[in-house]
Amino acid sequence: MAIILDHINYIYDADTAMAHAALSDINLAIPDGQFIGLIGHTGSGKSTLIQHLNGLVKPTSGNVYYNGKDINDPDFNKKELRAKVGLVFQYPEHQLFETDCFADVCFGPKNLGLDKKEVELRAYEALKMVGLPDEYFYQSPFDLSGGQKRRVAIAGVIAMKPEVLILDEPTAGLDPKGRDEILDLITSLHDKMGITVVLVSHSMEDVANYVERIIVMNKGKVMFDDLPKNVFAHYKELEEVGLAAPQVTYVMQELAAAGIPVTTDATTIEEARTEILKDFNK
Amino acid sequence: MNKKEMISTDNLTFEYIRRDEEGNVEGITTAIDNVSLDVQKGQFIAILGHNGSGKSTLAKHFNALLFPTEGSVWVDGMNTEDDSHLWNIRQEAGMIFQNPDNQIIGQVVEEDVGFGPENMGVPTKEIWERVEESLKAVGMYEFRKKSPNHLSGGQKQRVSIAGVIAMHPKCIIMDEPTAMLDPNGRKDVIRAARALNDVEGITIILITHYMEEVVYADKVFVMDKGHVEMQGTPREIFSQVDKLQELRLGVPQVTLLAHELRKSGLAIPEGILTREELVDELKKIYR
Amino acid sequence: MLRDITLGQYYQTDSIIHKLDPRVKIVTTLMFIVSLFIVDNFIGYIIAALFLIMEIKLSKVPVKFIFKGMKSIFFLLMITMLFNLFLTPGEAIIQIWKLTITREGLILAIRMGIRLIFLITGSSIMTLTTTPNNLTDGLEKLMNPLKKVHVPVHEISMMMSIALRFIPILLEETDKIMKAQIARGADFESGSIMKRAKALVPLLVPLFISAFRRANDLAMAMEARCYRGGDGRTKMKPLIYQKRDYIAYAVVLLYIVLCIVIGRILL
């Protein structure tokens, strides 16, 4: 059991007239090794939620446990927690500050107090892992393309060797090519290194292809928490809160409604293709 | 010059010189390579391409923010390099940019919309009329007294669009207006753009990398490496799924599914754009 | 973390003071500050206090709200008063250990305290009742004569209003970058001053880069919307004096004359 959220409430601007609940009564368990999609539209509380996971935000009430220990205990080592639970913010390339990519990636491990050799080794490994070509290592990160900058920023978090990696809209603002590359990168981090991944997104289609579990947030509450196909079965409710299931889900639902006996739980193009062909090739 | 053309480029080439930190010339990058295209008045045009394909650089030529290295750009019959037309061009061809925060100047919604007309020297009373009609056109009138900081990304973009409409343009160039928005904001912005095209007859040039947004366009240009790689109606473009994938453009799920089914032997036509079309086609062959 | 900082805070309500032309409010505030240095006796301070009370009453801004803003300068106020209290030479009245309070010191401290409190209250009434862009408009119009000596009045006021527009955005961004760097193990809160100053680099560099990027974008957006400086520009909300503004000027004039008479001539 990696992370447990127990009755988390978070109230913005508490004690003022503007107080409003950003999160109410969140109970979640994030076991080791899962690949989770966290979905919700802007203002649903998903960004606030992930900041609870590494102690950047303290809940108004309720507890967050990491490997059984309450992270908001005064004697809990938060710095260590932040290495274990890596958080990649939205547009992470906006935090790059060093004169070259390599130095920037060293920032995280250096803050952990590791010796120089270990810091550099980790930075090197992280940059290799995100697939940045060697010739860019000692270039200014500001000269790179948008997608490459983002890789460097993600490497900066990976170099801390997290056990859990949370990414807030890692594909925002990228073109389809950049988006696929980043999503593939995240998948390989999960598969090869066994990192637990929480992928925050507002795109169901992005998420459907990759994750094994989807958590849908709405108005500060968990609305659904299930396998992707079970979540998308609620496509009507999702629409009501301004989210949409992948287009293929709709196609399958409409085919079924037209009396064609397809099962409706396909969430990817591949699944839909197989299912449709099964019915049409009889 | 044909009067029906809103924008036309003639062998447009744009190059810029790359310099290293000491200012020495490192090389020359050709961002746009010999592009000739025409946009008719009243059309809804989409320009697709991934980052670095030259589509944004092209857009900035339509508003006289950049000037050709070679060739020429004409906006409503005016050459963009003719200084005497500069302000007419910028008034006729309005521009919306990607980042919603970085193009709003006013601290109150209505004041931002009034910014363009103020610059043009429109009399006070008329500015108010224009602000009102523009905000109503994008459905943001009830937010007129709000601070832009309290709006969502999609709402901010609609305020920016109102700011351009208030200048009474003939054409609006939107440079990835939805790239930083969530799905709801994206829908609202595209809906506003389509309404302006349908109702007001304003020519729209939408630059994007979301293929779902170009389905309703009259004509699509696909840019790659500074060239126009493909052009045609959305259906013509979407019929070439393999080529689009080769250019690493995200093909909408339904189009892709239809393409896959066709490859697997089902009798479905190429260029399926919407899920209604796909479902209808499947229903046809099931019976 | 940075949400507590408020700059040029505006209190939204409908009052006669809110409706006044910003130029009137700027001039009034300046006149009031001048008056505090003209009057030099308690009757004078009472008149100033009455003027302030009238302003507050008319503005409909809750007194509590005005004094909440005072908290942040309380420390400054105390230091100023203590310095005056203990360090003014003169006739000793109380002696505590090595510190002497003199009669002159006591009077000076009280006087400084009153002046500071009045000054801050007076200017906060202006900022509380005037939107920042209204204020910059007023300043631009007031400084207009300076154009003749080639002061770029329009550009200065445009810069001020853009700064005001972007302050909240940059504050939010600072907060975000700070959190992102904390997530990468950065420590902004402990260590020596040198260490803390160094720790700010990962915050300030991205912030400056972002500010420049925004400035660049904004410049292009303004150009695209036909911005070409102040010449030939019309105003959506031009400043035109109303009857109430002339009345307000008359009241202020009366107040200043009263201050001069009582503070300088009578006593």
For the stretch B74-128, pLDDT in tens is 999 999 999 999 999 999 999 999 999 999 998 889 999 999 999 999 999 999 9
Q: Which helix (H) or strand (E) holds B30?
A: strand B25-40
> Alpha helix locations (H) across C187-242?
193-199, 201-224
Kindly state the tokens that stand for A46.
Answer: 């998903």
* The Cα angle at residue C194 between residues C193 and C196, in degrees rounded to 5: 65
User: Given an 8 Å threshold on Cβ–Cβ distance, is C164 in contact with B107?
Assistant: yes
* Residue C7 confidence (pLDDT): 43
pTM (two decimals):
0.87
Write out the DSSP string of B165-183: HTT--SEEEEESTTTTS-H
Low-confidence residues of chain B: pLDDT under 50: 1
Question: Distance, in angstroms, between A248 CA and closest chain B CA?
Answer: 7
Extents of the domains making up chain C: 2-265
User: Given an 8 Å threshold on Cβ–Cβ distance, is B248 in contact with A177?
Assistant: yes
Tell which phi-psi region holds residue C8, choosing left (phi > 0), alpha (psi between -120 and 50) or beta: left
Please tell me if residue C142 touches chain A, with a CB cutoff of 8 Å: no
Kindly report, residue by residue over B54-75, the tens digit of the pLDDT.
999 999 999 999 999 999 999 9
Cα–Cα distance measured from residue B51 to residue A92, given in angstroms and rounded to the nearest whole number: 18
Cα–Cα distance measured from residue B237 to residue B219, given in angstroms and rounded to the nearest whole number: 9
* Residue C124 confidence (pLDDT): 86
Give the best residue of A44, A175, A249 to mutate against chain B (max B CB count within 10 A): A175
User: Given an 8 Å threshold on Cβ–Cβ distance, is B90 in contact with C226?
Assistant: yes
Chain B residues within an 8 Å CB radius of C155: none
Max CA-CA distance within chain A? 66
Place of tokens 């045609």: B232
Q: Looking at residues A102-106, what average pLDDT do you find?
A: 96
The neighbouring-strand residues paired with B14 are B32
* Residue C1 confidence (pLDDT): 37
Q: Which of A86, A97, A156 sits opposite C205 (nearest CB)?
A: A97
The neighbouring-strand residues paired with A215 are A38, A225
Comparing A11-20, A273-282, C151-160, the range with the smallest average pLDDT is A11-20
Chains contacting B (3+ CB pairs below 8 angstroms): A, C
Upper half-sphere CA count for residue A76 (Cβ side, 13 Å): 16
Cα–Cα distance measured from residue A199 to residue A215, given in angstroms and rounded to the nearest whole number: 10
Question: Distance, in angstroms, between A159 CA and closest chain C CA?
Answer: 10
Give the best residue of B66, B101, B129, B156 to mutate against chain C (max C CB count within 10 A): B101
Q: Looking at residues A153-162, what average pLDDT do you find?
A: 95
Would you say C98 and C115 are in contact if contact means Cβ atoms under 8 Å apart?
Answer: no
Indicate the length of chain B as a whole number: 287
Chains contacting C (3+ CB pairs below 8 angstroms): A, B
- 202-231 in chain C: CB under 8 A from chain A: 202, 205-206, 209-210
Quote ipTM for the complex: 0.89
User: Given an 8 Å threshold on Cβ–Cβ distance, is B261 in contact with A277?
Assistant: yes
Amino acid residing at A116: K
Q: How confident is the model at residue A86 (pLDDT cuts 50, 70, 90)?
A: very high
Task: Please report the domains of chain B, with CATH numbers, ordered by start residue.
Answer: 5-233 (3.40.50.300)
* Residue A91 confidence (pLDDT): 93
User: Given an 8 Å threshold on Cβ–Cβ distance, is A173 in contact with B264?
Assistant: no
What average pLDDT does chain A have? 90
Q: Looking at residues A32-49, what average pLDDT do you find?
A: 91
- 114-143 in chain A: CB under 8 A from chain C: 142
Chain A residues within an 8 Å CB radius of C182: 56, 82
Q: Which of A56, A86, A94 sits opposite C210 (nearest CB)?
A: A94
Ranges assigned E (strand) in chain A: 3-12, 20-30, 35-39, 61-66, 69-70, 85-88, 164-168, 196-201, 213-218, 221-226
Give the best residue of C1, C184, C204, C209 to mutate against chain A (max A CB count within 10 A): C184
Low-confidence residues of chain C: pLDDT under 50: 1-7
Would you say C252 and C30 are in contact if contact means Cβ atoms under 8 Å apart?
Answer: no
Kindly state the tokens that stand for C83.
Answer: 């310095």
Q: Is C35 strand, coil or helix?
A: helix
User: Given an 8 Å threshold on Cβ–Cβ distance, is C226 in contact with B103?
Assistant: no
Amino acid residing at B2: N
Ranges assigned E (strand) in B142-255: 171-175, 203-208, 219-224, 227-232
Nearest to A125 by CA among A161, A153, A150, A74: A161
Which is more confidently placed, B209 or A227? A227
A238, with CB counted inside 10 A (0-12, 13-18, 19+), is buried
Q: How confident is the model at residue A48 (pLDDT cuts 50, 70, 90)?
A: very high
Cα–Cα distance measured from residue B252 to residue A246, given in angstroms and rounded to the nearest whole number: 10
Return the percentage of chain A with pLDDT > 70, whole number.
97
Q: Which residue of C has its CA nearest to B164?
A: C225
